[in-house]
């Protein structure tokens, strides 16, 4: 689908490189620029096996790694030359640093006005915090997510995974595609895309904004309950498992009542009416929790499935891998790898009727494709490449 699109990924860690990963899954040629000493920090982040970073192996899929020291004049020129031969450049270095290196959008677009550049930062390219460093954790805190997550009498809760980075990467990937569409279909030029780690996640927490603006109320933590829907929670079963249930649609709540033998509640105005039911949400929650606690997970799920109720078991990762629905859709694929022999990874998520996402290879070793890229893309002679290596530019 994206064959012929070349992407220069000179970002590090998660949000920006993950946007490049999505493009590579559908055919874009992604060139990963890394510092010769250590490379992308994601290589050393998280769980390692035999010194190999597992997250890097997945996030670096389908990319070609070239090492260039961006702190050297020759290295900066190499990257400018590579950018001039790419459709998209992806960066997350602080704005002032990119300007110093001559690798900011204004500098690159002067030579390549058709260039689409994604610049992911902690706070955005404008505003008083624009040059501050930022990580996903700060986005999860400032967006309102942590404030709303957790039990009412417990501290704000941060997610144990890359939530802000992941949400930002999805916004970034579709923004790149819109910019390419504008350029290639409508005949527009290139442009700069400004994505930060706060705004995309805050957009998903819009209910808080709307509630505060129109009612003056600031929503607070309520555990797994949600003050716009009841019942909605996680419930412990007799065999010490958990299931999640959501009755966001009014008809689902009445099905729940009937399924658990409480037909009286399905016709009681205080429980049948969606708005009045919210006033008795804790009572509703207690009734459902009590019924679930007397069933095994299998028994409860059987009743809810027969009643066409939106419920699901709370899975750990082994449960998820073993689920028949995941297997039927090929959600996980095992990929051979020279360093790890093989690894099970998430398959590309979007499903198209005409195309299939690919995982050709897991993340390469540092600088694995340096000679290949410099020779193929920049047409550098082997002697020049050897000179750059001797001077520690690559």
Q: So which residues are the catalytic ones?
A: 165
Please say whether the beta carbons of 243 and 260 come within 8 A.
no
- Which residues have CB under 8 Å from 40's CB, separation 6+? 12, 13, 17, 32, 34, 56, 60
The H-assigned helical ranges of 240-331 are 250-259, 263-267, 269-272, 274-278, 281-293, 297-306, 317-322, 324-329
Sheet with 242-246, edge to edge strand ranges: 232-236, 242-246, 311-313
Kindly write down the DSSP assignment for every residue of 178-236, as one continuous string: HHHHHHHTS----EEEEEESSHHHHHHTHHHHHHHHHH-------TT-BTTBSSEEEEE
- Which residues have CB under 8 Å from 68's CB, separation 6+? 33, 34, 35, 36, 75, 78, 79, 393, 394
Please say whether the beta carbons of 360 and 62 come within 8 A.
yes
């Amino acid at each position: 689908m994206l064959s012929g699109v070349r992407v220069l990924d000179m970002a590090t860690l998660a949000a920006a490189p993950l946007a490049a990963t999505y493009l590579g899954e559908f055919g874009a040629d992604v060139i990963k620029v890394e510092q010769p000493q250590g490379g992308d920090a994601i290589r050393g982040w998280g769980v390692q096996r035999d010194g190999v970073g597992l997250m890097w192996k997945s996030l670096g899929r389908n990319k070609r790694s070239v090492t260039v020291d961006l702190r050297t004049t020759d290295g900066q020129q190499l990257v400018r030359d590579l950018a001039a031969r790419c459709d998209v450049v992806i960066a997350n270095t602080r704005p002032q640093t990119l300007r110093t290196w001559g690798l900011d959008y204004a500098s690159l677009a002067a030579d390549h006005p058709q260039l689409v550049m994604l610049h992911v930062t902690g706070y955005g390219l404008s505003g008083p915090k624009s040059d501050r460093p930022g990580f996903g954790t700060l986005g999860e805190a400032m967006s309102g997510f942590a404030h709303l997550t957790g039990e009412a009498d417990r501290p704000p809760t941060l997610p144990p995974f890359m939530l802000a980075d992941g949400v930002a990467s999805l916004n970034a990937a579709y923004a790149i595609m819109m910019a390419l569409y504008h350029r290639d279909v409508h005949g527009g030029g290139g442009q700069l895309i400004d994505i930060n780690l706060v705004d995309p996640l805050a957009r998903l927490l819009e209910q808080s904004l709307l509630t505060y603006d129109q009612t003056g109320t600031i929503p607070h933590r309520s555990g797994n309950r949600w003050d716009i829907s009841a019942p909605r929670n996680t419930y412990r079963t007799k065999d010490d498992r958990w299931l999640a249930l959501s009755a966001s649609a009014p008809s689902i709540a009445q099905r729940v009542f009937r399924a658990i033998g409480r037909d009286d509640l399905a016709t009681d105005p205080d429980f049948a009416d969606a708005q009045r039911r919210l006033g008795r949400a804790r009572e509703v929650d207690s009734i459902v929790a009590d019924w679930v606690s007397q069933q095994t997970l299998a028994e409860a799920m059987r009743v809810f499935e027969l009643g066409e109720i939106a419920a699901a078991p709370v899975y750990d990762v082994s449960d998820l891998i073993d689920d028949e629905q995941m297997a039927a859709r090929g959600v996980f694929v095992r990929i051979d790898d020279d360093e790890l022999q093989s690894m099970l990874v998430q398959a590309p998520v979007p499903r198209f009727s005409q195309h299939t996402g690919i995982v050709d290879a897991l993340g390469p070793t540092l600088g694995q494709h340096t000679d290949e890229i410099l020779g193929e893309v920049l047409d550098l002679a082997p002697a020049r490449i050897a000179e750059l290596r001797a001077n520690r530019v690559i």
